[in-house]
Amino acid sequence: MCQQCKKPSFKSRFFADFMSRENESSYNQYKDKKEQLFKDIKGKVLEIGPGTGVNLRFLGKQVQWTGIEPNVAMHQHLKDEAHRLGLAIELYNDFAESTTLPAESMDYVISTIVLCSVKNVSSTLSEIKRILKPTGKFIFLEHEADKSWTFRWIIQKIVPFTPWRYFSDGCTPGRELGKAIMGAGFEKVVYQKYMQQGEGLILAINRPHLYGWAQK
């Protein structure tokens, strides 16, 4: 992102176009897990890295939705999706590691396939905790590192040093996110790890997944 001219870079536009074309397959791929995860969500919700708005379909009008999306090339897709669903949204061009949102202001924070891309996982998790109300919940669905020294784990460690990093907008698939969330100081963390079904090279590398929630 060019900070002065505020015009998205080629990389940001490329990724936003890619994500918007993948919306339907992403929706279908994660539908079962997201329906379980999102079914009780209501009140004030922050979504970090919402991309083109693929999760909006799972959240009804009982939700007051705020998004933090640093790739401004995603913003029009997101607004179009909110308009299509008749949802009023509040959208910021910001990073999840450090936001201007008030402390203890959100009932839920949602993150799906974002912690692989943030620059700093531990700052992001601290910021999520700061923003959540004392009764708030962090809801997540992420992919993480496979078992050490498996073939996939080796590939996950190598790809960030290839053009993968550029075209995936910084996705680092070898992060141990379950451990990071468990160690972030939440009162209670409940999640399941699973091998996401589906085809294609990206998914072949980005396995396993974990989905669950953390109570502040």
Ligand X SMILES: C[S@@+](CC[C@H](N)C(=O)[O-])C[C@H]1O[C@@H](n2cnc3c(N)ncnc32)[C@H](O)[C@@H]1O
Whichever of 2 and 188 has its CB closer to ligand X, that residue is: 2
Among 63, 78, 96, 106, binds ligand X (CB under 6 A): 96
Among 8, 50, 67, 212, binds ligand X (CB under 6 A): 50
CB of residue 132 to ligand X, shortest distance in Å: 16
Q: With contacts defined by CB under 6 A, name the span among 2-10, 48-56, 180-188, 195-203 that binds ligand X.
A: 48-56
The answer to whether 74 contacts ligand X (rule: CB under 6 A) is yes
CA distances from 214 to 23, 31, 70, 185, 204 (A): 26, 20, 24, 10, 27
Q: For the window 140-169, what string marks contact with ligand X as x by the rule CB under 6 A? A: -----------------------------x
The answer to whether 125 contacts ligand X (rule: CB under 6 A) is no
Residue nearest to ligand X (CB): 49
| Nearest Cα residue to 47 out of 140, 133, 168 | 140
CA angle 90/141/128 to nearest 5° reads: 50
Whichever of 45 and 118 has its CB closer to ligand X, that residue is: 118
| Nearest Cα residue to 79 out of 55, 107, 52 | 52
| Nearest Cα residue to 187 out of 213, 153, 150 | 213
How far is CA 148 from its chain centroid? Answer: 24
Please give the torsion angle defined by the CA atoms of residues 182, 69, 19 and 169, in that order, rounded to the nearest 10 degrees: -70
CA distances from 80 to 31, 32, 47, 54, 83 (A): 21, 24, 17, 11, 5
The answer to whether 29 contacts ligand X (rule: CB under 6 A) is no
The answer to whether 178 contacts ligand X (rule: CB under 6 A) is no
The answer to whether 214 contacts ligand X (rule: CB under 6 A) is no
* Interface contacts to ligand X, rule CB under 6 A: 26, 48-51, 54, 68-71, 74, 95-97, 112-114, 117-119, 169
